[in-house]
Amino acid sequence: MTKQTSLITGVIAAVAILTTAPGWADVPTTSFGKPSLEGQWDFKSATPLSRPERWKDKEFLTAEEAAEYEQGIVERRASGAESEGDVREGLDGQRDVDVGYNSGFLEIGTNIDGSLRTSLIVDPPDGRMPAMRSEARERNAPYVAMQGESPSGPEMRSLTDRCIIGFNNNPMRSGAYNNIMQIVQSESAVAIHVEMVNDHRVIPTNGGPGVASSTRFWKGYSVGEWDGDTFVVTSSNFKQNATPYGTGPNVKMTERFTRMDEATLQYEYTIDDPETYEAPFTARQQLRRTDDDVYEYACHEGNYSMPLVLRAARKMEDDGTANKDWMPSWHKR
């Protein structure tokens, strides 16, 4: 083989490798040459965050197993149960009264993640969330206990009840509803608009200015930069009780956004807080492109619940019937 032939062969091989790499040819790019992250993205999923015990030694499902699992979800939903083991006679009727959310309101995922993994957590390798340290549980206990008390004012309800933060948007993870976000992107910034509580972040792509550790934000302080074709966002400085997964004041969250193809955005986040969890953990999900719009979820503007909760608390105190059992059942789980 001549030197020239060798070079040509090498180029052909390199092109072949590049063009056969998953999704390489299908990744849309922006006018400034970066992979496009833009669009509306659906992040609801039926894949559990932590690997269930029954899949303890199984990292991936087969396509057939995934289809069977999804069918089971659909059937359980139809019978009014949220998850396996939650099939109870008459629960659905009671749920309308007790919780107020029924199947007409909920928008829970019915599809296994495109990776066919048995958990969204990919690290630790067992797919399970590391244990929370006992001191972290003690730190979080007052906030949890407070929500079981008769609230003296709105501050005693959860941050989600107050429409300050959402339960599924930082990091973005599949929840009961509003599992959608939109990205608009320029060369200098990436905007992420999540439907839940109508929240957003504008993240500079140049690493951004720093901020004092004593300055705290409900949605944390995020800076970003490109790592090859992946946009990496690092967040810290969360306010108390607004941290992801019950972490503490020094948590660092790292999110990675990688466009896989026209229809898919891989979203990965790592939660690192040795004061709370015995090890960092990383979850990964394939978000699906959707033509659905992100609607304005004007949570505070329509928070009919809060005045009713407070009015009920005052009445029960006046009647001498205040107790710790008055909140909906899901608050006690």
Partner 1 sequence: MKAKLLACTVASLLVALTGCGQGGQSSAPAVQPSTPAGPPDLNGVWQALGSAHWNLEGGHAIKGPATAVLGALGGIPAGHNYVEGGEIPYTDDAAGKRAEYRAEWNQWDPAVKCHIPGIPRQTYLPLPFHIVQGDNKVFIGYEWGSNSRIIHLDRPGTRAELPSWMGYSVGRWEGNTLVVEVTDQMPDTWLDATGTHHSEALKVTERYTPMGDNHIDYEATIEDPNVFTRPWTIKMPLYRRVEDNARVLEYKCVPFGEDAVYGHLRRGANRNEPTVKNLF
Site residues for partner 1 per CB under 8 A: 30-32, 38, 152-155, 162-164, 182, 184-191, 193, 198-202, 204, 208-210, 217-219, 294-296, 298, 300-302, 304, 306-307, 310-311, 313-314, 317
The nearest distance, CB 290 to partner 1, in angstroms, is 15
Give residue 280's region: left, alpha or beta (phi > 0; psi -120 to 50): beta
Taking the complex as a whole, the smallest distance from the CB of residue 223 to partner 1 amounts, in Å, to 9
Nearer to partner 1, 187 or 227 (CB): 187
Nearest distance in Å: CB 239, partner 1: 9
Copy the structure tokens of residue 90. Answer: 């008459």
Closer Cβ to partner 1, 72 or 307, answer by number: 307
Residues 6+ apart with CB under 8 A from 18: 24
Nearer to partner 1, 9 or 305 (CB): 305
Q: Are 307 and 154 in contact (CB under 8 A)?
A: no
| Helix (H) or strand (E) run with residue 191 in it | strand 189-194
Give min distance, CB of 240 to partner 1, in A: 13
Q: Count of alpha carbons within 13 Å of 40, Cβ hemisphere only?
A: 10
The H-or-E segment that residue 192 falls in is strand 189-194
Q: Which is nearer to partner 1, 311 or 324 (CB)?
A: 311
Cβ nearer to partner 1, comparing 24 with 295: 295
Nearest distance from residue 302's CB to partner 1, in Å?
8
Which amino acid, 201?
Answer: R
> Position of tokens 């901020």?
211
Side chain identity, residue 163: C
